[in-house]
Structure 1
């Protein structure tokens, strides 16, 4: 069980109640900031949702992210001000089962135009043997989510699935703000075209490689691996800072030898200690493979597209692309 990612239900419920009680005092809250200038007040749960809202909404929206740049999104705890302010939003875009605190607060907010990005594409289960289980407890369920808890939420790391989500977001914004529907439609088409171009770059760049296996501390790349015929080997599952078991280290050692893997990848929002220690023990290199859960000054790019291009460069090098 990934204890640090689970937020006690009672604590969340109390925070929600407090936030809604304080709503009258939060009319100018962060979540609704910008709504008074005629723009659609949009709240996004974390960066991948924020990017879609900004790119598709353009000049017609004012977007606020509940997750600050550089913060680990799975650990997010909302303040009463943030929770209360959600009810003032015109439109909420989130991804269920990534941030339990957000899921609970959104359910209480009652905003008509609320979109769960997970409903705009098809989620898959990429296995739970090393912890591919956001919000899943030892009994296989969290907050009554049942089978949903075992589904991999990292859809944004597959350009094709992300494009499907973008198309759905565009249609939902048209419905929420019909006066600007034509612009939302155009912006959506432009973004989908860029994502399709990114998909083609990955497809051609990873088509012919010396190995198809990559090792990563954060098991976030299941969709990407499946899309481009690769094999992801997570060191300790979904928690990039978790300590791998001795048995898992032994498994990774054998995987590296048998597959010809050259690199252990780590990310920018978590410690690289585990990756560097393992790489040293196995005689492998280290590099960054960004799960794009947030953009910071350390990110290898200014936005989603640029960082995904950097990820492609890193993968091509590590996999021996020809």
Structure 2
């Protein structure tokens, strides 16, 4: 059986297109903030997935069988590190494909938790999560420079996994950096009048953001989303609120006031 020239040309074009096309790189992140950064870098070439469902705490999540399967199938996996997603430490030891703990990236600026004012040893009893004094504050993506460093690593990894689209990933990274710089400038301008104003947070999670914009919370209600404050700390917070007068209190969806 012979093919007509037009049919033969169509078959050749289809073959060339299939050879030139690259499959989407399967990217999985542990938490939403990392997924948003990955989505900016992978834009136009794929859609990264996120492991934790909405409202789940990365400090105490338990993997489901479907989560284990997604971990196994992902080509690239990004997590903050053992100072946040404690539940991932052992499962990732069995993973064959690359897993990147972003808190370990070169040049990453890391903060450590300090002993909260008026919080004694009793407030830390029976608490094995790493919000204890001296451990790394893993909410590192809230510092713009850290978010940019994470995006740069993702662009590098994607270019290796998908070299045909390396140019796209670099262009996306450049656009992400430009947006971050513009946002940083706007936030500095808008938040400048609030420096020194009293406000309270429920969770010790915003130190990186505060460092970037010269802010500092007056008090914190809970060590983490999973730990209720002790009686002594509750009394101290009540005294701080009365002393501060009219203040702003920032709540968080997963944390009950």
TM-score range, shorter chain: 0.7 to 0.9
In 1, are the aligned partners of 2:31 and 2:50 still within 8 Å (CA)? yes
C-alpha distance in 2, partners of 1:150/1:63? 30
| Structure 2 residue aligned with 1:50 | 35
Counterparts of residues 208-227 of structure 1 (less than 5 Å): 208-209=193-194, 211-227=196-212
Match for residue 230 of structure 2 among 227, 237, 245: 245
Counterparts of residues 173-192 of structure 1 (less than 5 Å): 173-192=158-177
SS in 1 for 2:154: helix
Match for residue 156 of structure 1 among 128, 141, 144: 141
Match for residue 129 of structure 1 among 110, 116, 123: 116
Match for residue 96 of structure 2 among 106, 110, 116: 110
Aligned length: 226
SS in 2 for 1:252: helix
Q: Which has the larger radius of gyration?
A: 2
Query: Normalising by the residue count of structure 2, what TM-score does the alignment of the two structures yield?
Result: 0.76
Give the C-alpha shift of residue 161 in structure 1.
Answer: 2.1
Per-residue displacement from partner, 1:108-165 (whole Å, max 9, x unpaired)? 2121x322111231211031437x9xxxx869977xx9x9981000012222321222
Q: 1:256 to 1:201 in 2, by over 3 A?
A: farther
Please tell me whether residue 165 in structure 1 is matched to residue 150 in structure 2.
Answer: yes
Query: Once superposed, what is the RMSD of the aligned Cα atoms?
Result: 2.9
Q: 1:140 to 1:174 in 2, by over 3 A?
A: farther
Per-residue displacement from partner, 1:15-40 (whole Å, max 9, x unpaired)? xxxxxxxxxxxxxxxxxxxxxx9210
In 2, are the aligned partners of 1:141 and 1:149 still within 8 Å (CA)? no
Per-residue displacement from partner, 1:255-298 (whole Å, max 9, x unpaired)? 34555561221112332xx2xxxxxxxxxxxxxxxxxxxxxxxx
Q: 1:141 to 1:266 in 2, by over 3 A?
A: closer
Per-residue displacement from partner, 1:208-255 (whole Å, max 9, x unpaired)? 23734321111110111122222122112222x643333223333443
C-alpha distance in 2, partners of 1:204/1:74? 34
In 2, are the aligned partners of 1:159 and 1:195 still within 8 Å (CA)? yes
Q: 1:103 to 1:48 in 2, by over 3 A?
A: farther
SS in 1 for 2:44: helix
In 1, are the aligned partners of 2:196 and 2:216 still within 8 Å (CA)? no
Which consecutive unaligned segments of at least 5 residues does structure 1 have?
A: 1-36, 275-322
Q: 1:181 to 1:138 in 2, by over 3 A?
A: farther
Which consecutive unaligned segments of at least 5 residues does structure 2 have?
A: 1-21
Query: Normalising by the residue count of structure 1, what TM-score does the alignment of the two structures yield?
Result: 0.62
Q: 1:195 to 1:61 in 2, by over 3 A?
A: same
Counterparts of residues 187-198 of structure 1 (less than 5 Å): 187-198=172-183
| Structure 1 residue aligned with 2:17 | none
Give the C-alpha shift of residue 186 in structure 1.
Answer: 0.8
| Structure 2 residue aligned with 1:302 | none
| Structure 2 residue aligned with 1:283 | none
Q: 1:149 to 1:76 in 2, by over 3 A?
A: farther
Give the C-alpha shift of residue 67 in structure 1.
Answer: 0.8
In 2, are the aligned partners of 1:44 and 1:64 still within 8 Å (CA)? yes
C-alpha distance in 2, partners of 1:59/1:149? 41
